[in-house]
Structure 1
């Protein structure tokens, strides 16, 4: 299966090139929860071996995970998150919190994250100002950076014109 990359020069679009397929996010969820082997991932996710192999290959090629010899069985491998992969943790936590709020199962939370040291639930993620205030989408504005393209400039100009009209 050939991936069709998103060509939009935007951080969101480029991140989706790596992790935008839903099964990829489930693979990452399982890696964050301690699964390391192809067999464990395949058994738990129930996806075809070819699809899982493709997802793991992409994540490895992109430097999100690394494939290492299994120390317990030299004939197999295990997959470990790299620093780049570990940086995706807040993304998965935000999706978990969003899913529990907006797609509940009616029986209560399916999963709660708690801090190991205190046993207390972790706070929901939020976008915060430098002084710690929680900000919503109407409280921020995009500013084109030095790497911004003409395409991004046009998007920001449309957005700011729309804001001025409101």
Structure 2
């Protein structure tokens, strides 16, 4: 969902921002490796926004942090599985939804910080995220900022925002 959320909710900006996307065969292949490789081609700070399954799928790509001499902030959005599947009708069917589609993993990603020599912090509020992100971008090295979310709640919020926009637009057309 991170790339979809960027597309849906990012505000227009006059700033020059380079946003790159990578979609592997399953949508999660090599995202970390690709980001770190692309980041090595610039002196700009790299921010990688990645979901938990994609992070898990390409954790070995974190070896490239040292090899590519990249300072990065890795924003790990952890909703304990494939939250994107909440967008499909299969969500209404239990089983098989949770075990075959959402695939919760229950993984504690904090040890990846020590394993790959990265700073690691887990945040539980918007304010804590802003502080951790700002500290990472202004400091040196690479930091993983884990944001734990609930997939179903996130999709409910997206649906509410969509409905609000539709209502707002419908109200404007009658004026």
So what's the TM-score if we normalise by structure 2?
A: 0.21
Structure number with the bigger relative contact order (C-alpha 8 A, sep ≥ 6) is 2
Larger radius of gyration between Structure 1 and Structure 2: 1
